[in-house]
Chain A
Amino acid sequence: MSAFSAIGEERDIDRDEYTPAIEPQATWCPGCGDFGVLKSLKQALPEIGRTPDETLLVTGIGCSGKLNSYLDSYGFHTIHGRSLPVARAAALANPELEVIAAGGDGDGYGIGGNHFMHTARENHDMTYIVFNNEIFGLTKGQTSPTSPKGHKSKTQPHGSAKTPIRPLSLALTSGASFVARTAAVNPNQARDILVEAMEHDGFAHVDFLTQCPTWNKDARQYVPYTDINDSEDYDFDPTNRADAQELMRQTEDKLYEGEVLTGIYYREDDRPSYQEEKRELGELPEEPLAERYFDDDYEWERSYDNFIDKHR
């Protein structure tokens, strides 16, 4: 019998199961977009049939990192920018877990930018949600990698001279096999996208536009926005890389000006995940490695038997 009986357990799950018994002493301001992410996630998880005990949510630092306090699952609140390496190792050690990493735009695209690029390129089977509110919230309103050019803050008093990062294009060119953008102002679309992202085999990147009413009063609330998968104006095939690239360019050029395009930009369903590739090479065990430590019948090999000839 599996040592992890919560994994693969089939039953109806109530979204309230994800609500912590102890109300967090916390921490998100009234009107914060992060509540929208939480709501969508709590709706999406039961929809894919994942119980709180088989879900591991790994977060970074910042307001987004408090998601753990609001979602009652297994959780690891790590350090600034490092949620991805922690999460992808957990997904390797036990590929049967539902592994979700989450962080903010500073956490994911700034300090964790290197990890973002490499996790995307390796196509780890996991979901990455970036709370993108174009600001550093918890450190009190500094300019972030997604803040628009000219954005004024205490750390950029004359306005930012930096071009904002393009998270969707960056994810695509880095090699993510699923790239989507949604917004807290439409929790239904967000829920559907999260369901698809979590069901996707491979690295699913969701840039989640969230509003920060406290520090980013200038930020538009991402309306009007258009769902590119629904809109008749966009005849668009999300499996076509060139199409995805073009649409990303459009929306990332004018995110700060007018219509915001949201939806699933790109999905590559026939590409094997990193786990599958690695297993194919004989570098990942068939059964989750984590299971073995609880299996009393497993025979552990000794180095002495295996390698000693080399040293004789």
Chain B
Amino acid sequence: MADDELIWRIAGGSGDGIASTSQNFAKALMRAGLHVFTHRHYPSRIRGGHTYVEVRASADPVKSRGDGYNFLLALGDSFARNPQEEAYYGNEEVKPLSENLDELREGGVIIYDEGLLDASDIPDFEERAEENDWHVFPLDLRGLAREQGREVMRNTAGVGATCAITGIELEWIEELMTDAMPDKILEPNLEILETAYEQVSEEYDVDAPDISVPEGEHEEEQLLMSGSDAIAYGAIDEGCRFIAGYPMTPWTEVFTIMTQNLPELGGISEQVEDEIAAAALAVGASHAGTKAMSGSSGGGFALMSEPLGLAEMSETPVVLVEAMRAGPSTGMPTKPEQADLEHVLYTSQGDSHRVVLAPGTVQEAYDHSRTAFRLAYDYQIPSIVLYDQKLSGELTNVPASHFDRDPNPSMGKTLTEQEIANEPHTEGKFHRFQHDVEDGVSPRSIPGQKGGRHLVTGNEHNPEGHISEDPDNRIAQVNRRFQKMDAIRADLDERSLLRRYGPEDTEYGILTFGSQQGTVEEAVDRLNENGTSVRMLSVGELAPFPVDDVEAFVESVDEVLVVEMNASAQFRGLTQKELGRYGEKLHSLLKYNGNPFEPAEIVEGFETSIVEDGELPGPETKFVPAAGD
């Protein structure tokens, strides 16, 4: 068992405090100088039902969930004690232990709560433990927690036991608990933590497992943050002070973070009746002179296609966030997928045009969120930040300096009253939609400004804003709106959102987008270590598409594997459409079972399918060969 990383999985029932405990644990490890990365698995159910979170910690940077894990803390599902539910859900109580064994690595550690779980309920448990050389520590965590405080604090007992076995210094946890917990519950939690630690140290041979926490040090201060946090902070730093939304997993995370922060910053948040209203509010607020956003996940975004089209035609800047989850329809509410790509690119009628950016990491979530606002307001166009359930909830450490930047409240070509006076007018009417502007962007005025009054409309319109079906005007307006896309393309070329990774000249390439980026980078490292020459291009700008860069990448390698989380190879389709060829060169590796790729799956998919021309084992991932084969 490798001792250079700890992948700690805490499992229990929804509502058992798995998320908060794992977040604190990850933060403590980060403060101790380690790089951390979390992966969360949960059902669409509030209380009860099997859930787990993995915290991966290493002295070196971690970019992804690992392959399997090496430390299980199984707490039992305290909400699964109703025998009548067994018919529906099976024996939930043992699931935190039974459901997690397949991915536990050889030589791994299991702590389970014998106060709630009975290992003898699980067939072959002992045989499997022996076969895999697992170190099993049955502990009465519930009893211990009950003695010292309350039963619900058995999480803390489990963390204390973890520390005893891995050698994590208790003070890291204690310091964090002191910061995170109110006084009333802090005392008993500290006692439980220490008692569990001592009990395990005294009763067990804790040196037996070959798992210890690695030692690391950060050169600068780190912050633990999710993709949703980063999108919200990027929006705030770019001057967004208005949000409207309707709850939907996982978009709710961005909505909540913004809502909790905006009032203090003099901003406005509105929870409204549906997603059509939400996006329409963002359009209305932007029209009236604010920086505004809305967003949703697939099903809710479907409702937004109307106001999205309105924003395009009326040239109202707005940012929409689309947090993808598995579909179609309600799909799998808590599981990630990247299958809304085409939905986001093509929804709404007519020759529509929009910016679509796809961050691949937490840092990029912040950057792309800022860029989305800047582009929206500079070019008077809707921008969409497309990400997914994986990136929305995963926590990782990021250097604090990444966020230490000045705000940018610039509204782009929104005029002041003095400037309005100098703009073209016809008989007192402001020319809102001039044809002859260099980058296609006609300066705008805001309701309430003197001399700037005009009409905007979702109908085709002339320069003054009046509805018009004149053919010459139509051509001029459509051309001008599309001219913006060229200007944005040139703008993006100057500060590319493409991420390149791996050695410079390689035989093979991997093309990906969004949240799979970090996992692909890990896979690229391993493939090169194994002797396969491969590098990655991750595309952060999906519309306008960086045709030249992607073409150069595809041209420079013999074969390309396109990695994405959906069943219909949407990103590969987009690439082929934009490049106009290369169907014979682009192979697909797809995964759509509700779980994101593990690095080993990409390594295996690449080696088996591309290098050896063999077939993938198992149904987890799917290889689709190039169209020309």
Contact = CB atoms under 8 A, between A and B. Distances in A.
Interface of A: 3-7, 9, 20-22, 24-25, 52-54, 56, 58, 61, 66, 68-69, 72-79, 82, 84-90, 92-94, 96-97, 114-115, 117-118, 278, 282-285, 289-290, 292-294, 298, 300-304, 306-308, 311-312
B223 interface: yes
Contacts of B267: 285, 289
A300 B407 contact: yes
B280 A78 contact: yes
Contacts of A311: 223-225, 229
Contact of A68 (B223, B289, B292, B457): B457
Given A53-B453, A76-B456, 19 more contacts: A3-B416, A4-B450, A22-B427, A25-B468, A82-B280, A85-B278, A86-B280, A88-B281, A90-B447, A93-B284, A118-B272, A283-B263, A292-B266, A293-B239, A302-B237, A302-B407, A303-B233, A303-B234, A312-B223
B98 to A, nearest CB: 35
A86 B283 contact: yes
A76 B465 CA distance: 10
B223 A293 contact: no
B273 A74 contact: no
B265 A22 contact: no
Which of B264, B417, B427: most chain A Cβ within 10 A?
B417
Contacts of B464: 22
A69 B270 CA distance: 31
A308 B427 contact: no
Given A79-B458, A82-B307, A312-B223, A89 B270 contact: yes
A283 B467 CA distance: 37
A69 B263 contact: no
B417 A5 contact: yes
The 6 closest A-B pairs by CB, nearest first: A89-B284, A4-B448, A290-B289, A86-B284, A77-B457, A85-B280
Given A22-B429, A74-B447, A293-B239, A118 B284 contact: no
Contact of A90 (B273, B285, B414, B468): B285
A276 to B, nearest CB: 14
Interface in B419-448: 426-429, 446-448
Nearest to B462: A22
A3 B411 CA distance: 14
Contact of B404 (A69, A284, A294, A304): A304
A89 B464 CA distance: 24
B484 interface: no
Nearest to B278: A85
Contacts of B296: none
B261 A306 contact: yes
Contacts of A66: 467
Contacts of B306: 79, 82
B456 A77 contact: yes
Interface in B454-509: 454-459, 464-468
Given A52-B453, A79-B306, A304 B403 contact: yes
Contact of A307 (B233, B276, B280, B289): B233
8 contacts: A74-B447, A79-B458, A88-B284, A90-B285, A90-B287, A92-B268, A118-B277, A301-B407
Contacts, number: 231
Contacts of B292: 89, 93
B429 A21 contact: yes
A115 B272 CA distance: 9
Contacts of A84: 277
A6 B267 CA distance: 24
B299 interface: no
Interface string B282-303: 1111011111100000000000
Interface in B554-603: none
Nearest to A2: B448
A307 B261 contact: yes
Given A92-B285, A93-B290, A5 B458 contact: no
Contacts of B321: none
Given A97-B447, A302-B405, A22 B241 contact: no
A290 B290 contact: yes
Contacts of B221: 312
B448 A290 contact: yes
A301 B449 CA distance: 26
Contacts of A72: 429, 453
Contacts of A283: 263, 268-269
Nearest to B179: A312
Contacts of B272: 85, 118
Contacts of B414: 293
A301 B237 CA distance: 8
A85 B162 CA distance: 52
Given A118-B273, A300-B407, A289 B290 contact: yes
A86 B318 CA distance: 13
Given A22-B426, A74-B454, A293-B239, A79 B448 contact: no
Nearest to B455: A75
A306 to B, nearest CB: 7
A289 B405 CA distance: 23
A278 B267 CA distance: 12
Contacts of A58: 284
Contacts of A79: 306-307, 309-310, 458
A118 to B, nearest CB: 4
A4 B449 contact: yes
Interface string B369-406: 00000000000000000000000000000001001111
A211 to B, nearest CB: 24
A21 B427 contact: yes
Contacts of B223: 308, 311-312
Contact of A75 (B232, B451, B456): B456
A291 B237 CA distance: 18
A69 B429 CA distance: 13
Contacts of B468: 25
B236 interface: yes
Contacts of A75: 453-457, 465
Nearest to B316: A76
A7 B448 CA distance: 6
Nearest to A87: B284
B235 to A, nearest CB: 9
A122 to B, nearest CB: 9
A6 B450 contact: yes
Given A94-B288, A94-B448, A289-B267, A303 B273 contact: no
A303 B456 contact: no
Nearest to A4: B448
B164 to A, nearest CB: 26
A207 to B, nearest CB: 21
Interface string B143-172: 000000000000000000000000000000
A74 B268 CA distance: 23
Nearest to B377: A293
A256 B307 CA distance: 36
A94 B266 CA distance: 13
B71 interface: no
Nearest to A74: B447
A301 B406 CA distance: 9
A307 B257 CA distance: 10
A216 B280 CA distance: 32
A96 B448 contact: yes
B49 interface: no
Contacts of A85: 244, 272, 276-278, 280-281, 284
Nearest to B289: A290
A263 to B, nearest CB: 30
Which of A87, A282, A289: most chain B Cβ within 10 A?
A289
A78 B448 CA distance: 19
B242 A89 contact: yes
A68 B455 contact: yes
Which of B223, B284, B448: most chain A Cβ within 10 A?
B448
